[in-house]
A and B are shown apart, each in its own frame.
Chain A
Amino acid sequence: MKLVGVLLAVFGWLLPVVALNMTSSTGMRMFLCILGIGITLVAILGVLNKAHQKEAVWKQ
């Protein structure tokens, strides 16, 4: 799960960067940026955090 979280975070970063060459529309670029940031946040705060919470000290 931790590896999936990291890979998803990297994907969320690369999405708006690569998309710069796909479209010149400012609106579409902005949408893809927000989408990428959203994916990254889900990866960090959702996937990775959940994986770490499983072994949290207060659950032991």
Chain B
Amino acid sequence: MKRCTWLKPYLWAAIVALLVCGLPAWAQGQAAAPSAPAATPAPPPLAVDAPLNVSGPSTDDQAAGDPSGTKTGTANDVVHADPTKPLTLVDLVNQAGQNRIAINFVWTLVTGFLVMFMQAGFAIVETGLCRAKNGNHTMMMNFMVYGFGLFAYWVCGYAIQMGGAAGTAMLGGINPLNHEFTIHLLGHDWGLWGTKGFFLSGATYDVGVMVLFLFQMVFMDTALTIVTGAAAERWKYVAFCVSSIFLGAITYPMFANWAWGGGWLSKLGANYGLGAGYADFAGSGVVHAVGGITALALSLIVGPRIGKYNRDGSSNAMPGHDMVIVLTGCFILAFGWFGFNPGSTLGASGALRIGTIAVDTMLAGCTGSFGALLYMWIKYGKPDASMAGNGLLAGLVAITAPSGYVNTLGAVIIGFVAGLLVCVSVEFVDRVLRVDDPVGAISVHGTNGLWGVISVGLFADGTNGVKGLFYGDPTQLVAQLIGVATLLGFVFSLSYTANMVIHFIIGQRSAAADELEGLDIPEMGALCYPEFVLKPDTTHAGAAASDFKAGLQVARETA
């Protein structure tokens, strides 16, 4: 057997080298290894009410001014429980708690103010997409829906929605809202509505309850203003008033309770093991789908505008009168959405994901407008402005529910699909269903609200407690689908039935002659644009309306 004798010196050299280099390193590691802690005496117990030896700048220092900002916001500004005594640890801890809740109050209020401003966006989008002869009427519906909704919500809507929602730590607990009406059925408790907070009276005269009221109220008003667009140009104003009050007082709060107020949908996870229960972070379902589905119910009841469809059932385009205010309104809405989604954390302290939520929101809006633009450009050869605007809104609507649970890739996909979906849905509603929706509210808010709810069950990545199908949990998708079934089955049925009752009592639709003239004078008593000369409508829709008008005249003479 031949031995590799020539290897021997090299092997020895390698072993020596390893020893020379390795030993010091090993020794160093041993030295760096943590030694057992020496027994140290325990610190003396801290007396929380003992005076702390800290002081801020003197009054004289502060009187000299503070251009650099180093003398403002010091120990002098910490609130003392007893101003006559020095600062204690209790004072510091209380101040920290106060600061956290103050930050969250300010965040929630400011984002609520942003959402309130969305009313202006909705108002001009809807008015711009309607004809000039109905400008005052459409604007006044959007203007007064704020007041009607707010009043109804103060009377009973808020109590029904959030009356049992105590325990919201971000706003200090809101503990006065502590009773949910619940029935025990099929082996589980089913929360149906809250019972505390009617008129914001009694113990609900509370700072946290008030902040939550403002934030939830502006969300509710968003749902209400969606309906006015779908029924625009033929909705009797008095019927609009009654219908809006009902939606703000009953329909919206009921579903919102089930999803956000501790109701049965939110408990599907605990009771039936369906993921985290129905998850709707900022309201694709609660706000937008409720508004869009109610808009569908209203559109069915009031029927299409005169001239929208020909006798053979073909559809006529009825373009709006001002694309500038439509797209400006879309920008206002996109701005307000930064209140809608990031604000739904109900605070900034302890909820630093607000940055992710804001980025998800802007990305989905952007890809939504891409999707719609692409669809229209490919199919019709031109990049349609109103559909690009609707695509932006569709993307924002769709990301509203998943914005707290998805990453940016998910947001991009959700938004793009929403942009395509809104175009397909508008065509389907207009040409197949023959349901007249002047602003596309059913498609933007209804269809994409439902898509947003479903997308949580698909794209939620599990980083914030909700995990969707693509990340390994199919049960979350089941919870979301039950939410969709509830929106379609419960919300639609309740809205439809209530509005049919209103229809039988006072009538939902304006008189045909008023509609042909434009609703500004007959319904509101004043024109939106009194100095403008409105030219006759020479489009197909105008011709169809003229035919109808002639028929109406003949019918009158015959009668």
The residues of A with any CB-CB pair to B shorter than 8 Å are: 2, 6, 9-18, 20-21, 24, 26, 29-30, 33-34, 36-37, 40-41, 44-45, 48-49, 52-53, 55-60
A residues within 8 A CB of B445? none
User: From residue B415, how far is it (CB to closest CB) to chain A in Å?
Assistant: 23
User: Are B308's CB and A17's CB within 8 A?
Assistant: no
User: From residue A6, how far is it (CB to closest CB) to chain B in Å?
Assistant: 5
B99 at the interface (CB under 8 A from A): no
User: Are B482's CB and A55's CB within 8 A?
Assistant: no
A34 to B435, CA, bound (A): 24
Q: A48-B300, A57-B512, A58-B544 are in contact. List 5 more A-B contacts (CB 8 A).
A: A6-B496, A12-B485, A36-B485, A44-B488, A56-B304
User: From residue B541, how far is it (CB to closest CB) to chain A in Å?
Assistant: 11
User: Are A52's CB and B303's CB within 8 A?
Assistant: yes
Question: Which residue from chain B places its CB closest to the CB of A30 in the assembled complex?
Answer: B478
Interface residue tally on B, bucketed by range = 35 or more
Question: Which residue from chain B places its CB closest to the CB of A49 in the assembled complex?
Answer: B433
Question: Which residue from chain B places its CB closest to the CB of A58 in the assembled complex?
Answer: B309
A56-B303, A56-B304 as given contacts; A16 in contact with B481, CB under 8 Å: yes
A residues within 8 A CB of B301? 52
User: From residue B307, how far is it (CB to closest CB) to chain A in Å?
Assistant: 8
User: Are A58's CB and B492's CB within 8 A?
Assistant: no
Question: Which residue from chain A places its CB closest to the CB of B509 in the assembled complex?
Answer: A57
A37 to B48, CA, bound (A): 59
User: Are B478's CB and A37's CB within 8 A?
Assistant: no
User: From residue B226, how far is it (CB to closest CB) to chain A in Å?
Assistant: 17
Question: Which residue from chain B places its CB closest to the CB of A14 in the assembled complex?
Answer: B489
User: Are A30's CB and B306's CB within 8 A?
Assistant: no
A59 to B485, CA, bound (A): 33
* CB pairs A–B below 8 angstroms (11 shown): A2-B500, A11-B489, A17-B485, A29-B478, A37-B481, A37-B488, A48-B496, A49-B433, A56-B304, A57-B512, A58-B544
B residues within 8 A CB of A58? 304, 306, 308-311, 313, 544, 548
B residues within 8 A CB of A16? 481-482, 485
How would residues 454 to 490 of chain B score, 1 for a CB under 8 Å from any chain A CB and 0 otherwise? 0000000000000000000011011001101110111
User: From residue B542, how far is it (CB to closest CB) to chain A in Å?
Assistant: 14
B529 at the interface (CB under 8 A from A): no
A6 to B488, CA, bound (A): 11
User: Are A56's CB and B475's CB within 8 A?
Assistant: no
B residues within 8 A CB of A24? 273
User: Are A33's CB and B485's CB within 8 A?
Assistant: yes
The residues of B with any CB-CB pair to A shorter than 8 Å are: 186-187, 268, 272-274, 296, 300-301, 303-306, 308-311, 313, 433-435, 474-475, 477-478, 481-482, 484-486, 488-490, 492-493, 496-497, 500, 512, 544, 548, 551
User: Are B477's CB and A52's CB within 8 A?
Assistant: no
A14 to B186, CA, bound (A): 13
User: From residue A51, how far is it (CB to closest CB) to chain B in Å?
Assistant: 9
B residues within 8 A CB of A60? 548, 551
User: From residue A20, how far is it (CB to closest CB) to chain B in Å?
Assistant: 5
A52 to B304, CA, bound (A): 10
User: Are B485's CB and A37's CB within 8 A?
Assistant: yes
| Among candidates B474, B482, B489, B544, residue contacting A26 with C-beta atoms closer than 8 Å | B474
B residues within 8 A CB of A13? 485-486, 488-490, 493
A17 to B475, CA, bound (A): 14
A30-B477, A33-B478, A48-B496 as given contacts; A40 in contact with B303, CB under 8 Å: no
Question: Which residue from chain A places its CB closest to the CB of B477 in the assembled complex?
Answer: A30
| Among candidates A10, A20, A52, residue contacting B272 with C-beta atoms closer than 8 Å | A20
A48 to B492, CA, bound (A): 11
A56-B309, A58-B311 as given contacts; A9 in contact with B488, CB under 8 Å: yes
Question: Which residue from chain A places its CB closest to the CB of B496 in the assembled complex?
Answer: A6
User: Are A10's CB and B303's CB within 8 A?
Assistant: no
A20 to B188, CA, bound (A): 11
A57 to B302, CA, bound (A): 10
Question: Which residue from chain A places its CB closest to the CB of B313 in the assembled complex?
Answer: A58
A37 to B478, CA, bound (A): 12
User: Are A10's CB and B313's CB within 8 A?
Assistant: no
A13 to B293, CA, bound (A): 14
| Among candidates A11, A29, A37, A45, residue contacting B484 with C-beta atoms closer than 8 Å | A37
| Among candidates B273, B296, B306, B489, residue contacting A36 with C-beta atoms closer than 8 Å | B489
User: Are A10's CB and B489's CB within 8 A?
Assistant: yes
Question: Which residue from chain B places its CB closest to the CB of A28 in the assembled complex?
Answer: B478
Question: Which residue from chain A places its CB closest to the CB of B488 in the assembled complex?
Answer: A40
A33 to B469, CA, bound (A): 15
A53 to B301, CA, bound (A): 10
Task: Give the 3 A-B residue pairs with the shortest CB-CB distance, closest first.
Answer: A13-B489, A33-B481, A58-B309
Question: Which residue from chain A places its CB closest to the CB of B551 in the assembled complex?
Answer: A60
A residues within 8 A CB of B475? 26
A21 to B187, CA, bound (A): 9
A residues within 8 A CB of B300? 48-49, 52
A residues within 8 A CB of B273? 24
A1 to B403, CA, bound (A): 40
